[in-house]
Structure 1
């Protein structure tokens, strides 16, 4: 193996070189300039005296097209559009060989002895790039679209759907190579199955909304639909019990670590293209990002004996008990990636000694710290959106201490926020006139509560902004004003101030897709009757990985076909993605 972060066995000289060179910012121009391919020269099928198409530029172009999975005959046109790359390969950018020179039959005749080497190198290079978040392996020049688009050059729906199918499968293949190897599972020393087969079993259970303990039978059906009964797989192969046993051998902390690593890998794969879509100030993804903090509730209806991780639920839930999981997602106008998860509900994981007063199963400020520390590894956080459960003095103290801007819906308590909302009509400034918004701003609104390292009734302040009722508001009672906590510089003094404040607070709707995404995560997670919390935690976190893979396939597919849209829903539906994954998993078995 080559490279500190690589789990890939490198078998070619060129892929070993790439592993030494490649990082998240390396593009083909830089890579081509550094590659030494002289050792392959003696396998060139064209005589040395043929100066018209020298070995180095031709071989690099051949390798490039293979890695990027592009047609060979289209190489001249694509290089003509990228003269810097043509020069890096060694071509005269004003005199690139013709299309006929790159016909597959001619390349096969010339590089026949190197064909298997290049194919192996290309696969390994794509894997290295995927692990390190390099743009290599995702050349998206729109050279493969049809000509049946509209007058402005947009591809037709038929073209889009065809490319969604084709490109989606390619991205799917590569993502499987990124996410699954990041999740090592224990297995017996003499097992006849590979470790990856347990993850395939878990994925099958997730995709088919199956119980994890019955997915072994489904896996056997997929692996061999016409089995020999004495096949050792049916005697000793992985079953749902095998998976459950493997998960039970992992601690809660170990599951948390490997799942967060897998989530990081999926985000890393998308990051090069996300950076290209940033606005000029870098405020969307790679440089200054918005993140959302959430609590996710997974209903629990079983016996609660010895279930220390089980939590009570808010009054608006249709069940009394649940497991709670904290998540942090990077929020964009078009994409929402879960980048961190943590389980809640055990005093062993709550850092209780650092808080005054009675121990709790978790402290929401400490949850915020844990999740923000994960997001800090990805981006410089520009703004934090959090759900209403994060309305606490401890969270406000944390965000202020980190110097982060935030917007959080406020709880309408009986003594502080609730009475202000009840008096909104009397307190508000502004009128129902064009380009004016009635709202109320109370600056330095005080709240009290336990703060880590402080006292049990610490005082913190934030600006309280109350907006008019909204029919689409599913957080507050119908007809009630909408209160928010923020440290943005807001005012309700003049119409311009009110418009600006309203626009800033209403950007909270950017996280609206996050609120809806957790039903999709649950749809992408296996279920279990096991009372072991480790199993339930593993299934939820793995569901987050499957969910991220769905979003990445959708985004990168749009990226490849050159039709990226600011969509409220992914172009590829979750059910369609799960169908793809179901079929693709068969090839893993």
Structure 2
């Protein structure tokens, strides 16, 4: 049998391996564990030669190559690798192994199915990936910290079995995507469930339609599967306000009403899905209402410039209307406001609203009023839970926003964005006080469109090391002794930054689409997968009589993998 050789005699990988190393470099910047680098890595399988003479073998070649690469990167012995594959279910899922191979199987694979040159290529690839992982502080290389999953003693002590994990994912999943309809004919080639599996897979790989085309085929049992373009067309149908409309292109538009119609079309099923998750997974029984919530805005970067390259003084006429300029830079992106539960309760996203900001390249662009965004978020969230305090970023500081929250009969905590001469004087007096670090100015009159409420100004040390102070606004009547507690509560909202990071890293696929239906659906689906992950772990906590602690048994990203690798294969 002919063996493929490296392009150079010194063992340096050829172009195919160079592309794999480039892919690994990107994965190492966003992955928190080496197994999450090896799992989706584009290994050039065609460059290896399977030397097995048997017509059928127990394990496919590619999953075994991934396991062998993982072994080489970490420097494990075959017995150590076999032990890890046996103990860590999710490690096998990442590599595509249906069951844990024995040490003898691993040995036979390396000795009988890989040639000497194959083993050399594997070692060289492992060396380069290891160097990239070490440079990016990727965990798991030393083997000291095992892949985050369910420990064997946890299974024995709590009854937290794989069957319960799968059951929890099924319950959470079935409460989410069933609210979306593809508006396709009853005799359509693929059922809707296939497209949800594809979407979960895209979220898992975080590499969009091309990744699906390359890798989805080897994990799905169907001989026929939807093409990436078919999936995209289906997503556009889901986001189309009126299936009878024949607009040639939704990607760009100058019609304010149209993007709002797309918003309503996609957020109505999102709201129903959130209601299902809250009501049917006993979420209401697990939280201490009224809850504290946080409102913030996150961006999804959009790289193309609004200016024509040949004539930078002229704007593109087909530039996506919902792209906004990001504050303080020339970066651009789609913006989304979210309302999330924060504090000690299970953090989930209760509401989403698209945001449109004025941009430097526009003179008459439409912007979404912050008060309108907050009103819609609160109205939706209050359908699910009882809210007490609303904490928002300083970007939401404004008379209109404070008025909206007060009219919802809720308490707000918002940092003051702009400071006046009076603020500077009050801050100076607070800093100069010999005993008190905090000061409160109570009962300041706030008027907006004829409505009046009172606001307390809290002056507090924002950074003790630098001596900097901040100003917090609240409509609560705050005695001075309560000020430190309220400021400490506000710091709970910073978990929303981790929430955004988790959604983008584990649940938001990459896409180059400019079609707003695709962009908004991808973000909505990513948030729902995040909520599914959170509530799956909540179900597991309910089903086993044990406090699972701060680290949930199913880490972020595992839900998407389970949906694809297990539920998509007929196990669920």
- Please report the TM-score for the alignment, with normalisation by the length of structure 1: 0.58
Structure 2 residue aligned with 1:224, among 214, 218, 221?
221
2:463 is the alignment partner of 1:470: yes
Question: SS of the residue aligned with 1:444?
Answer: strand
> Contact between 1:266 and 1:552, CA under 8 Å: does it hold in 2?
yes
2:412 is the alignment partner of 1:430: no
Q: Runs ≥4 in structure 1, deviation > 6 angstroms?
A: none
Alignment of 1:40-119 (within 5 A): none
Residue 413 of structure 2 is matched in structure 1 by 407
> Contact between 2:443 and 2:454, CA under 8 Å: does it hold in 1?
yes
> Contact between 1:310 and 1:323, CA under 8 Å: does it hold in 2?
yes
Distance in 2, matches of 1:170 and 1:509, equals: 35
Residue 381 of structure 1 is matched in structure 2 by 387
Residue 210 of structure 1 is matched in structure 2 by 207
Shift of residue 440 of structure 1?
1.5
Q: Deviations over 1:237-281 (max 9, x none)?
A: 9744434543563533201212222222222233x2541x45xxx
Shift of residue 374 of structure 1?
0.4
Residue 377 of structure 2 is matched in structure 1 by 371
Task: Call closer, same or farther: CA 1:522–1:237 in 2, change over 3 Å.
Answer: closer
Structure 1 residue aligned with 2:322, among 309, 315, 318?
309
Q: Deviations over 1:434-489 (max 9, x none)?
A: xxxx20212234678xx5xx38xx986521112213369xxxxx652232111222
Q: Deviations over 1:557-579 (max 9, x none)?
A: 12211223563x54432144443
Distance in 1, matches of 2:542 and 2:215, equals: 34
> Contact between 1:213 and 1:239, CA under 8 Å: does it hold in 2?
no
Question: SS of the residue aligned with 1:322?
Answer: strand
> Contact between 2:158 and 2:545, CA under 8 Å: does it hold in 1?
no
Q: Deviations over 1:338-393 (max 9, x none)?
A: 1111111189xxxxxxxxxx985111111111001001111222221222222110
Residue 109 of structure 1 is matched in structure 2 by none
Task: Call closer, same or farther: CA 1:417–1:325 in 2, change over 3 Å.
Answer: farther
RMSD of aligned C-alpha atoms?
3.2
2:264 is the alignment partner of 1:253: yes
Residue 566 of structure 2 is matched in structure 1 by 584
Task: Call closer, same or farther: CA 1:417–1:528 in 2, change over 3 Å.
Answer: farther
Residue 470 of structure 2 is matched in structure 1 by 482
Question: SS of the residue aligned with 2:173?
Answer: helix
2:514 is the alignment partner of 1:531: yes
Distance in 2, matches of 1:378 and 1:588, equals: 33
Select the structure with the greater relative contact order (CA < 8 A; seq sep ≥ 6): 2
Distance in 1, matches of 2:570 and 2:229, equals: 14
> Contact between 1:185 and 1:246, CA under 8 Å: does it hold in 2?
yes
Query: Which sections of structure 1, spanning at least 5 residues, go unmatched?
Result: 1-154, 279-283, 348-357, 432-437, 473-477, 493-497
Alignment of 1:341-360 (within 5 A): 341-345=352-356, 360=366
Task: Call closer, same or farther: CA 1:309–1:421 in 2, change over 3 Å.
Answer: farther
> Contact between 1:325 and 1:344, CA under 8 Å: does it hold in 2?
yes
Residue 184 of structure 1 is matched in structure 2 by 181
Distance in 1, matches of 2:496 and 2:186, equals: 41
Task: Call closer, same or farther: CA 1:420–1:307 in 2, change over 3 Å.
Answer: farther
Instruction: Give the number of aligned pairs.
Output: 383
Q: Deviations over 1:118-164 (max 9, x none)?
A: xxxxxxxxxxxxxxxxxxxxxxxxxxxxxxxxxxxxx9545358616
Q: Deviations over 1:298-352 (max 9, x none)?
A: 222123343221222233xx762221111112334141111111111189xxxxx
> Contact between 1:365 and 1:395, CA under 8 Å: does it hold in 2?
yes
Distance in 1, matches of 2:267 and 2:170, equals: 25
Residue 294 of structure 1 is matched in structure 2 by 296
Question: SS of the residue aligned with 2:440?
Answer: strand
Residue 71 of structure 1 is matched in structure 2 by none
Shift of residue 412 of structure 1?
4.6
Distance in 1, matches of 2:548 and 2:435, equals: 36
Of 481-490 and 302-311, the range deviating more from structure 2 = 302-311
Residue 403 of structure 2 is matched in structure 1 by 397
Residue 346 of structure 2 is matched in structure 1 by 335
Distance in 1, matches of 2:236 and 2:269, equals: 17
2:233 is the alignment partner of 1:242: yes
Task: Call closer, same or farther: CA 1:268–1:344 in 2, change over 3 Å.
Answer: same
Residue 122 of structure 2 is matched in structure 1 by none
Shift of residue 402 of structure 1?
2.1
> Contact between 2:294 and 2:391, CA under 8 Å: does it hold in 1?
yes
Task: Call closer, same or farther: CA 1:481–1:187 in 2, change over 3 Å.
Answer: same
Residue 549 of structure 1 is matched in structure 2 by 532
- Please report the TM-score for the alignment, with normalisation by the length of structure 2: 0.60
Structure 1 residue aligned with 2:501, among 519, 522, 528?
519
Residue 439 of structure 1 is matched in structure 2 by 438
> Contact between 1:273 and 1:559, CA under 8 Å: does it hold in 2?
no
Structure 2 residue aligned with 1:572, among 550, 554, 560?
554
Q: Deviations over 1:167-217 (max 9, x none)?
A: 222101222221121111233565311122222211211111121465255
2:336 is the alignment partner of 1:361: no
Residue 145 of structure 2 is matched in structure 1 by none
Distance in 2, matches of 1:303 and 1:244, equals: 25
Question: SS of the residue aligned with 1:483?
Answer: strand
> Contact between 2:351 and 2:381, CA under 8 Å: does it hold in 1?
yes
Distance in 2, matches of 1:292 and 1:311, equals: 22
Task: Call closer, same or farther: CA 1:166–1:198 in 2, change over 3 Å.
Answer: closer
Task: Call closer, same or farther: CA 1:253–1:393 in 2, change over 3 Å.
Answer: same
Question: SS of the residue aligned with 1:395?
Answer: helix
